[in-house]
Amino acid sequence: KRRKKIDFLIYYRKHSNKMNFFPYDFIKKLIKLKFKVHIVGDKLNLPNIKNYGFISSEKLSNLQSLTKYTIMSGENPYSFFILECMSKDVKIIIKKNMKKNIALPKKNLIELDYDSLNSVKKLKL
């Protein structure tokens, strides 16, 4: 097993289907709590994050193997990105009360209240 040195790897797309589901405020809380947040896809203009842009599947796979957590946005819980993260043993953060509606292995899913800073503090670094 590789040492996981990235706290969060998040797939971000500026797309009308995703905008209502993307947890911007939750990511700001992660940054405030000093989590290492890395973004792939479109650039997310927030301080203290690392943007990779669009990268090869090989580089993405390598980053996923170094990652502890990612965030599942609400529009597509079965995206290739999420499935690949699960195969790399990345824990998937989902919005509270969504777990029962998702047909994925529950051991990789962590439900959090995105509005509560205390729930974010419970994550292990």
Q: pLDDT tens digits for 4-55?
A: 999 999 999 887 666 566 788 889 989 999 999 999 999 999 999 999 999 9
Q: pLDDT tens digits for 57-96?
A: 999 999 999 999 999 877 778 889 999 999 999 999 988 8
- What pLDDT score was predicted for residue 73? 77
**Residues present in the chain in total:** 125
pLDDT top residue among 106 and 11: 11
What are the DSSP E strand ranges found in the chain? 6-12, 37-41, 49-53, 67-71, 91-95, 109-112
**Strand-pair partners of 92:** 70, 109
